[in-house]
Amino acid sequence: MPSGQGTGTNPIHNKKPKKEKKEEDEEDKAFKDKQAADKKARDEMAKKAGGKGPLGGGGIKKSGKK
């Protein structure tokens, strides 16, 4: 028996069928556009916040005990 015959290890016969490419409808296109706009807004906000230092640098907080 040739190697791989009947054992299910032959890669030629184990290929999965390709996924069919779905056509986008208007809702999908609008959703993707909204996600892209949200991501762009988040990136811009992170860039603005990244240039500043720490907020309210209070240092180590001490307890009220004496």
Express each pLDDT in 36-63 by its tens digit: 999 999 999 888 877 766 656 566 777 7
Does residue 43 sit in helix, strand or coil? helix
Taking the C-alpha atoms of residue 47 and residue 50, their distance in angstroms, rounded to an integer, is: 5
pLDDT at residue number 20: 74
Percent of the residues in the chain that have a pLDDT greater than 90, as a whole number: 23
Contact 11, 3 (CB under 8 A): no
Mean pLDDT of 13-37: 83
pTM (2 d.p.): 0.42
Average pLDDT, the chain: 75
Q: Of the candidates 22, 44, 41, 45, which has an alpha carbon nearest to the alpha carbon of residue 33? A: 41
